[in-house]
Chains A and B, each alone.
Chain A
């Protein structure tokens, strides 16, 4: 069922959209989920979609973006296509277990949800809500802060499906799990989906998320990923964003870490129209380690905004933020990082770094590296730079016979490599290395891996 709407007030329009689709959204005879949805709508109405004056969305006018008239699809739509015909993955060589999510719905290629031999449960979130309700609702919407975050509330009200992953106690799941989010539609569409990853005590897993658009229509995606990393668990999440210029992608990751856990996220933004990535981390036990890294490469009219919030709630935790951007042509980049050290969180070590290179006169970068500190025995530092490629280094290379273009590429590649080198899986790291090099050489466009030849 497609609903078109056009209302002056964007928040109001979403509330109305919810009311109009109540029967579908609340139909599942699931009072737990329904009450969360209702609360989310209430808080969305109260908080409102942030406008231009919101500090949080100062550099990305999210209200304007969401104002546009879009289709919403609240049940999976049958699209006849053979995946091999239109899409080959950017990262095919690594040994992964691939899951497809089409327009926000788990794409059924067999079982909707599977329990593997080692106890790992993986599959559709919607199916998990039916098969493993206790497991899901212990964590679902617990970390997404939908009562204070209007964008998370928006997703919580509407998202119906996505990926569910459960790794039981002390299970080290060796094979990487690759989640491929595909956008494919005959009309412009807004997509909201939701992932929930649970790692029990001592568990380990690697997830790779790839975001792709496969048709030229305009897409707005607002996704939420909740991660619960229990004591002593270890989780790596790598996201590769590669959507087309007309796409708007808002990702929201909420990561809850318990004692002695380690979570590393790498967000590689290769392509997209407007990208806004929100990562919020709660270090809720002692001796946690969090690494949040990102690399964004933007040109044309692209707009990429990363916002990272690290809450140091308990003592003896370490966090590292490293975001690097290369901006060319008319691209706009933004970074906001916040380290928040709470009064009890003594012996915190928190670092934040944002480095950016502007390659053209019309590129623009805004950076807000922030510290909010309420404990005295801490080591916190941050740094941000905006600059160019080092002219001296360029000259040095050219004087050794390397042509200017190649010299520039080498320097940009070296700049980007600091982030890539932190990707934990060697095979993935190598693939992303290649992709970034291709991207920098201008050899990678969104059409690179699409066989539709639409343009």
Chain B
């Protein structure tokens, strides 16, 4: 084993640092999934009839569907009857003041680096904290409300803004869209809702922090963001889970709507528990994320840093409906040990002069499998559509795999679609060059990986770019963050 291999070996044995479990009283319903469970969830949340109907329709569809087998993933059979579909920290209503919040919970979020006290928050970030199935605290709601911005938990939105929810729920990701979207539509528990009114630039980063805490539960959150004409919002999502030996299911749906001239930026730092180094435990992360750039000149931008989960199945997509609309996807996906990721993006060009950009950087280490899968589709009417995709893979070690499965479907002769991809390893000469300047191999690898991922990290909001950079190091290095 060469020095470099040894260090690579060391740095790829990193431990997950969010694996703790919080001891709080949790209310759960019995395991299993049937119509009755769907009704119970809806009843627990005092939902209106139309929402129950939405859930039931989705559930009936789900029963007829099969889990997709096309991804480049090996997943043991999932027993959907062995999962708890609703878990919540025991509480009556949402806390209005922080004093009412269980100190254990505040402590949990502090440990995760997400303070719930507004005065302690990262400057300019409003947070919706979701633990297991429910939202426990949304910060800065009042401040934002003054500008007409609605930022609250999904349940609150159903209560307080039913017309908006009814109008947009399922409008981007129909409840029948795919197996996991149908499952989510049937049993989703909570999540975040955000509406930016016409002409408003949201002055702070909005953020949802998801935490799975209870055992044997699945997390099914639903996020809906609507940016009305001429508005702007940047949104960040983070997530962690305790270290457990059994796999836990996470199936979320995120829907984004950008109206005329609106810009929506959605960033994710995904750090669900990836399982241990032998592949035991970890989150199954099956997520449907899709945005529609509905109005002319609108823009949707996805940025993701994926380091967690045992299995990731996720393709944040843009439907470019408005003329001159833009879709972007920037991704760094790191897989280590036995992790598997099949992730990428879909860009559907419908409007004229629509543009899309895909930059994907995969990093595989250990015995992991990392796949990029993407579709760029130019429909007949999408005159002068442009796409550029760049999908690079970096392999650390010879036991892992890196795969690229792009699909290009062009139905318009004025479109220009370009796809490029490369696969490489860190060059020994690069490491030696750093060594010769006195830089250790471990630091050199970290620098080179961050340099490789730079194009994507640069797209993250400033506050999180540094976090993400550290996370990349931790995921691969094992040095304490």
* Contacts from A to B (Cβ < 8 Å): 55, 343, 346, 356, 358-388
B415 x A373 contact (CB < 8 A): no
Given A55-B70, A384-B418, A376-B425 contact (CB < 8 Å): yes
Would you call B419 and A361 a contact (CB within 8 A)?
no
* Inter-subunit contact B407/A371 (CB<8 Å): no
B160: Cβ under 8 A from any A Cβ: no
What are 19 of the A-B contact pairs (CB < 8 Å)?
A55-B70, A346-B398, A361-B413, A365-B409, A366-B408, A370-B403, A371-B403, A371-B421, A372-B403, A373-B402, A374-B401, A379-B423, A381-B422, A382-B419, A382-B421, A383-B418, A384-B419, A386-B408, A386-B417
Q: Which residue of A lies closest to B408 (CB)?
A: A367
Q: Are B419 and A369 in contact (CB under 8 A)?
A: yes
Q: Report how far A372 CA is from B395 CA in the complex, Å.
A: 12
* A360/B413 contact (C-beta < 8 A), A346-B398, A376-B395 known: yes
B412 at the interface (CB under 8 A from A): yes
Question: Which residues does chain A contribute within 8 Å of B400, judged by CB atoms?
Answer: 374, 376
With an 8 A cutoff between CB atoms, is B411 at the interface?
Answer: yes
CB distance from A357 to the nearest CB of B (A): 9
Residues of A within 8 A of B409 (CB): 364-366
Question: Which residues of the partner chain A approach B401 to less than 8 Å between Cβ atoms?
Answer: 372-374
Q: Is A366's CB under 8 angstroms from B423's CB?
A: no
Given A380-B422, A380-B423, A375 contacting B405 (CB threshold 8 A):
no
Smallest CB separation, A292 vs chain B (Å): 18
Per-residue A-contact encoding for B372-415, CB less than 8 Å = 1, 0 else: 00000010100000000000010111111111111111111111
Q: Which residue of A is nearest B8, CB measured?
A: A376
Q: How far is the CA of A363 from the CA of B409 in the complex (A)?
A: 11
Whether the Cβ atoms of A371 and B423 lie closer than 8 Å is yes
User: A376 contacts which of B398, B404, B408 (Cβ < 8 Å)?
Assistant: B398
Evaluate whether A366 and B410 lie within 8 angstroms (CB atoms) in the complex, with A377-B425, A381-B423 already known: yes
Q: Are A376 and B396 in contact (CB under 8 A)?
A: yes
State the interface size on chain B (CB cutoff 8 A).
36
Chain B contact residues: over half helix, strand or loop, or mixed? Answer: strand
Q: Are B398 and A358 in contact (CB under 8 A)?
A: no
Q: Which residues of B contact A368 (CB under 8 A)?
A: 405-408
Among the interface residues B398, B414, B420, B423, which one has the most CB atoms of the partner chain A within 10 A?
B423
| Bound CA span A393–B417, Å | 19
Complex Cα distance A380/B424, Å? 7
Which residue of A has the minimal Cβ distance to B404?
A: A371
Tell which of A361, A370, A377 touches B412, judged by Cβ atoms closer than 8 Å.
A361
A373-B393, A386-B410 are known; give 15 further A-B pairs, CB within 8 A. Answer: A55-B70, A361-B380, A361-B414, A364-B411, A366-B407, A367-B407, A370-B404, A370-B405, A371-B421, A381-B422, A383-B418, A384-B408, A384-B417, A385-B416, A387-B418
Which of A364, A378, A381 touches B410 (beta carbons < 8 Å)? A364
Q: For the complex formed, measure the closest distance between the CB of B298 and the CB atoms of chain A, giving whole angstroms.
A: 25
Q: How far is the CB of B27 from chain A (nearest CB, A)?
A: 44
Closest chain B CB from A364 CB (angstroms): 5
Chain A residue with Cβ nearest B70: A55
Residue numbers of B with Cβ under 8 A of A are 70, 72, 378, 380, 393, 395-425
Instruction: With CB as the reference atom, state the residue of chain B lying closest to A361.
Output: B413
Q: Which residues of B contact A370 (CB under 8 A)?
A: 403-406
A388 and B414 form a contact (CB under 8 A): yes
Chain B residues in 8 Å Cβ range of A378: 395, 423-425
Distance in angstroms between the alpha carbons of A364 and B395 in the assembled complex: 35
A388 close to B416 (CB less than 8 A): yes
Please tell me if the beta carbons of A373 and B395 are within 8 angstroms of each other in the complex: yes
| Least Cβ–Cβ distance between A392 and chain B, in angstroms | 13
Q: Which residues in B have their C-beta under 8 angstroms from that of A377?
A: 398, 425
Q: Which residues of A contact B399 (CB under 8 A)?
A: 343
Which chain B residue lies CB-closest to A59?
B409
Question: In the bound complex, what is the Cα–Cα distance between A421 and B403 (angstroms)?
Answer: 31
In the complex, A406 Cα to B368 Cα: how many Å? 53
Contact of B406 among A358, A361, A365, A369 (CB under 8 A): A369
Alpha-carbon separation in the docked complex, A378 to B395 (Å): 9
Question: How far apart are the CA atoms of A382 and B372 in the complex, in Å?
Answer: 13
Cα-based distance from A372 to B393 in the complex (angstroms)? 11
B residues in contact with A372, CB < 8 Å: 72, 401, 403
Which of A343, A362, A373: most chain B CB closer than 10 A?
A373
Residues of B within 8 A of A367 (CB): 406-408, 410, 419
Shortest distance between the CB of B108 and any CB in chain A (Å): 39
B408 touches A358 (CB 8 A): no
3 smallest A-B Cβ distances: which pairs? A376-B395, A358-B413, A367-B408
- Closest residue of B by beta carbon distance from A333: B410
Q: State in angstroms the CA–CA spacing of A371 and B421 once bound together.
A: 9
Looking at the assembled complex, report how far the CB atom of A448 sits from the nearest CB atom of chain B, in whole angstroms.
Answer: 27
Complex Cα distance A199/B419, Å? 37
- Bound together, the chains give a CA A363 to CA B380 distance in angstroms of 10
Asked, given contacts A370-B406, A384-B419, whether A375 binds B398 with beta carbons under 8 Å apart, the answer is yes
Q: Nearest-CB distance from A367 to chain B (Å)?
A: 4
A380 to B407, CA, bound (A): 18
With A and B bound together, what is the CA distance between A380 and B380 in angstroms?
Answer: 33
Q: Which of A374, A383, A386 has the most CB of B within 10 A?
A: A386
Chain B residue nearest to A364 in the complex (CB): B411
Q: How far is the CA of A263 from the CA of B53 in the complex (A)?
A: 62
Per a CB cutoff under 8 Å, which of A364, A375, A380, A385 touches B419? A385
B413 touches A388 (CB 8 A): yes
Q: Are A363 and B413 in contact (CB under 8 A)?
A: yes
B476 to A: closest C-beta gap in Å = 14
B-chain residues with CB within 8 Å of residue A360 when the two chains form the complex: 413
Task: Please name the residue on chain B nearest to A341 by beta carbon.
Answer: B423
Give chain B residues whose Cβ lies under 8 Å from the Cβ of A363.
413
